[in-house]
């Protein structure tokens, strides 16, 4: 019994010692955490000036030094008292339901986010309160690191001590980014709805609250359907939080989002310059805005104003005639790569717009790789006919077929069948190699023959198309498009300076031949509206079709000095009226831009590379046998000229003998026959002994020719020769021998009858 009691006593002592040690460890941990937190808390200071600044945006100036008027450089502050309660509740219910209950951070949300991120091995789940978002937007970088998250929490706690909840919410609403370069709820209300923030409806408040999660994804100007779904989700959330009634909810859900009808300020060029500057500095747009940078661009103010005027004029007229919502983009780059003017005529943000390129892809995906690999020359012939490749049966736009056409004509008239056949000949992989070099990246789903018609899975950025055509204009050299000339920091130090970029992608000979074919599009093809300008212009139109109706219209034109792209579409419902044509509206816009660009001079023609020469070929062989060969005749009317690469000239002339040359003798004389070609001149010679004479000359004749020579029976032997200048055929006859044989046969026949 004593041993048992002693054992229990020892166990109690051991437990007390363990408990003591554990308590000491826990105390030390909490003490360390407290000391560490105190150090961290004191390490980071709250920059109140940045939080309350109304203008910490960037300056963007044109090539002439004119400063742009941007939303983010003129940020009016809205007092929270002027906003309806449903505006405030829309943001609180969406972003931070416990906003009035926490002290800057929400422990429950933090643990939930940590669990999700640990489970998914990522940092995708956030737990930021409105206070944290304000601190991040105004004071911190956008990098997803745990260190930045600690800073965010610490500064949020200090923020909550320094300001009231109303003040924090007011600063937040005046700081948050809504897309389209609109910072703050006042600018967002003006940008999207054309009204003050105090005047927006419940539906519009829900829409704005939904945008901030991802402006690119939920902006009604870029993704209308997504914006509607997101707005309805927020309205339902507000109803669950009892901040709106069932009646208010029912009023919001079926309501369309009505965007502002007019754009008061054209910031198209500046938006692109901001995106480029962010890429150059490897920072977010918000960091660029907060950094007070100055961006100097290549923008030509006068040209920009003219492009806006021209585009608006043509598009407005088209809108009136069709009663259809239309959007447009026009961009002009000089052939050194500097973007001189860029305009988005739309209520939507088209900065990262991807569209189906339609026939504008043909020169790049089909004709350029075919020329590179000597599959064809501009004069080569392709049969335009009905085709079917395992169920893929493309048609020409007018659903008619032209028979054999040259690749030059096929491209200028944008025929679909020849393009598909040529792509099949050169192969998808070689086409993909060319497009990769041009910066046009395809997916596996794109690797089929519909690529010849511009069919892609995800579409192509308009600026990528523009850059690709500028490579053709520059003879195979890639001079990447640039909006930004230099960037200066807040202390006026130049931190980026434009350096001209040039990379040789293709041989000048290959690009020249494609360019020369596209010049025919201007003369007599789909872009012939430009022909009256009387200057060397290469041009390509394109019309995208979704199986039911047209969706996109293009014209891309270039000279030896500039490359211009104009696109017209309908972002709202992706439908265009049949009355609008790529050969009309976008081509007319480019025509007027070209007229303005060359008011005082005309661009020089494209330089003829050393690897290209103009050579003759036989038009009769092309027409009859569909082959391109050097002429075998000196008759000029049957000789045509075109450009050929020196390593891919016309084939040598055909050295065929004169076809079907025959000389037959009957009682009337010598019957001479042969098959003639109209591009050759034939001479029939007759030799009796040493005497030779010309019997007959044949020209402009084709098919089977027959000639009867009566003057033969006084000769023992006659040799006939037929020559076309290259080939000679001959046959010999014996007229007197023929007469003797004929007489002998008659005598034998008579004797037999008499017997």
Reference 539, options 600, 472, 477; nearest CA is 472
Q: Are 57 and 73 in contact (CB under 8 A)?
A: yes
pLDDT over 60 at 6, yes or no:
no
Length, in residues, of the chain:
755
Model confidence band, residue 353 (pLDDT cutoffs 50, 70, 90): confident
Mean pLDDT for 434-459 is: 93
Residue 68 burial (CB < 10 Å; 0-12/13-18/19+)? buried
C-alpha torsion sign, points 530, 480, 606, 452 = negative
For 183-194, what is each residue's pLDDT tens digit? Answer: 889 989 988 998
> Token pair for residue 42?
């004191």
Better-scored residue on pLDDT, 605 or 96? 605
pLDDT at 727: 85
pLDDT at 755: 40
Model confidence band, residue 244 (pLDDT cutoffs 50, 70, 90): very high
What is the C-alpha separation between 466 and 557, in angstroms, rounded?
A: 9
CA 67 to chain centre: 30
pLDDT at 437: 97
What is the C-alpha separation between 676 and 702, in angstroms, rounded?
A: 5
Model confidence band, residue 74 (pLDDT cutoffs 50, 70, 90): low
Mean pLDDT of all residues belonging to the chain: 87
Model confidence band, residue 8 (pLDDT cutoffs 50, 70, 90): low
For 475-485, what is each residue's pLDDT tens digit? Answer: 999 999 999 99
pLDDT at 124: 46
Reference 453, options 542, 578, 552; nearest CA is 542
β-sheet bridge partners, residue 542: 554
Phi/psi-derived region of residue 66, left when phi > 0, alpha when psi is between -120 and 50, beta in every other case = beta
For 535-587, what is each residue's pLDDT tens digit? Answer: 999 999 999 998 889 999 999 999 999 999 999 999 888 999 999 999 999 99
Better-scored residue on pLDDT, 137 or 738? 738
Reference 557, options 526, 599, 513, 601; nearest CA is 526
Better-scored residue on pLDDT, 283 or 19? 283
Mean pLDDT for 687-709 is: 91
Inter-CA distances, 360 with 167, 355, 514, 553, Å: 54, 11, 13, 10
Cβ count within 10 A of residue 744: 10
Residue 192 burial (CB < 10 Å; 0-12/13-18/19+)? buried
User: Which runs of consecutive H residues, i.e. helices, occur in 323-367?
Assistant: 362
pLDDT at 677: 85
What is the C-alpha separation between 631 and 634, in angstroms, rounded?
A: 7
Report percent pLDDT > 90 for the chain.
60
Cβ count within 10 A of residue 427: 14
Better-scored residue on pLDDT, 70 or 527? 527
pLDDT at 234: 95
For every residue of 581-592, DSSP letters joined together read -TTTHHHHHHHH
Better-scored residue on pLDDT, 34 or 749? 749
β-sheet bridge partners, residue 686: 693, 720
pLDDT over 90 at 261, yes or no:
no
For 624-681, what is each residue's pLDDT tens digit? Answer: 899 999 988 777 888 999 999 999 999 998 766 788 999 999 989 999 999 988 888 8
Q: Which of 52-61, 161-170, 384-393, 572-581 comes out lowest in average pLDDT?
A: 52-61
What is the C-alpha separation between 425 and 429, in angstroms, rounded?
A: 11
Cβ count within 10 A of residue 544: 24
């Amino acid at each position: 019994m004593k041993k048992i009691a002693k054992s229990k006593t020892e166990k109690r002592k051991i437990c007390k010692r363990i408990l003591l040690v554990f308590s000491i460890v826990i105390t030390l941990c909490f003490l360390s955490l407290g000391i560490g937190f105190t150090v961290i808390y004191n390490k980071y200071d709250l920059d109140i000036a940045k939080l309350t600044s109304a203008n910490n945006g960037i300056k963007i100036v044109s090539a002439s030094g004119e400063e742009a008027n941007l939303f983010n450089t003129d940020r009016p502050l809205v007092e929270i008292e002027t906003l309806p309660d449903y505006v405030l509740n829309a943001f609180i219910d969406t972003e931070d339901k416990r906003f009035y209950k926490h002290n800057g951070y929400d422990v429950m949300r933090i643990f939930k986010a940590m669990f999700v991120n640990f489970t998914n091995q990522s940092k995708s789940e956030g737990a930021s309160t409105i206070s944290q978002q304000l601190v991040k937007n105004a004071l911190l970088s956008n990098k997803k690191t745990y260190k930045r998250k600690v800073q965010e929490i610490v500064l949020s706690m200090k923020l909550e001590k320094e300001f009231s909840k109303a003040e924090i919410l007011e600063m937040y609403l005046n700081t948050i980014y809504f897309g389209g370069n609109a910072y703050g709820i006042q600018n967002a209300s003006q940008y999207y709805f054309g009204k003050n923030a105090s005047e927006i409806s419940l539906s519009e408040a829900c829409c704005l609250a939904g945008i901030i999660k991802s402006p690119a994804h939920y902006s009604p100007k870029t993704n209308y359907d997504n914006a509607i779904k997101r707005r309805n989700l927020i309205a339902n959330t507000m109803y669950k939080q009892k901040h709106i009634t069932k009646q208010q909810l029912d009023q919001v859900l079926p309501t369309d989002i009505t965007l502002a009808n007019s754009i008061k300020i054209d910031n198209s060029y500046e938006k692109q310059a901001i995106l480029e500057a962010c890429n150059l500095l490897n920072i977010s747009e918000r960091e660029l805005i907060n950094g007070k940078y100055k961006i100097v661009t290549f923008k030509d103010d006068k040209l920009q104003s003219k492009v806006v005027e021209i585009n608006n004029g043509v598009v407005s007229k088209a809108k009136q005639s069709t009663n259809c919502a239309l959007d447009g983009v026009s961009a002009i780059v000089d052939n050194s790569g500097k973007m001189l003017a860029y305009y988005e005529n739309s209520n939507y943000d088209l900065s990262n717009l991807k569209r189906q390129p339609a026939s504008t892809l043909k020169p790049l995906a089909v004709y350029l790789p075919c020329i590179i690999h000597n599959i064809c020359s501009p004069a080569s012939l392709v049969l335009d006919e009905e085709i079917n490749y395992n169920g893929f049966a493309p048609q020409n736009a007018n659903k008619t077929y032209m028979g054999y056409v040259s690749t030059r004509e096929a491209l200028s008239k944008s025929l679909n069948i020849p393009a598909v056949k040529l792509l099949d000949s050169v192969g998808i992989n070689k086409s993909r190699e060319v497009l990769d070099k041009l910066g046009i990246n395809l997916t596996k789903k794109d690797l089929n023959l519909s690529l010849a018609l511009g069919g892609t899975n995800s579409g192509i950025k308009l600026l990528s198309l523009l850059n690709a055509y500028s490579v053709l204009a520059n003879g195979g050299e890639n001079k990447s498009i640039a909006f930004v000339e230099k960037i200066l920091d807040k202390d006026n130090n130049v931190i980026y300076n434009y350096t001209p970029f040039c990379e040789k992608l293709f041989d000048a000979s290959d690009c020249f031949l494609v360019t020369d074919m596209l010049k025919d599009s201007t003369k007599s093809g789909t872009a012939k509206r430009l022909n009256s300008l009387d200057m060397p212009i290469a041009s390509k139109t394109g019309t995208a079709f979704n199986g039911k109706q047209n969706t996109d219209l293009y014209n891309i034109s270039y000279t030896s000095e500039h490359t211009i792209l104009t696109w017209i579409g309908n972002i709202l419902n992706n439908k265009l009226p049949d009355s609008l044509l790529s050969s009309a509206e976008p081509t007319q816009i480019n025509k007027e831009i070209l007229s303005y660009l060359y008011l005082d001079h005309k661009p020089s023609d494209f330089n003829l590379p050393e690897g290209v020469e103009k050579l003759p070929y036989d038009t009769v062989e092309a027409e009859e046998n569909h082959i391109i060969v050097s002429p075998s005749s000196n008759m000029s009317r049957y000789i045509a000229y075109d450009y050929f690469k020196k390593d891919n000239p016309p084939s040598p002339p055909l050295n065929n003998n004169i076809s079907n040359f025959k000389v037959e003798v009957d009682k009337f004389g010598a019957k001479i026959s042969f098959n003639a070609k109209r591009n050759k001149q034939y001479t029939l010679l007759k030799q009796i002994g040493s005497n030779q004479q010309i019997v007959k000359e044949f020209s402009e004749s084709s098919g089977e020719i027959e000639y009867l020579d009566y003057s033969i029976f006084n000769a023992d032997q006659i040799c006939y020769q037929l020559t076309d200048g290259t080939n000679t055929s001959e046959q010999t006859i014996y007229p007197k021998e023929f007469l003797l044989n004929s007489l002998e046969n008659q005598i034998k026949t008579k004797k037999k009858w008499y017997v």
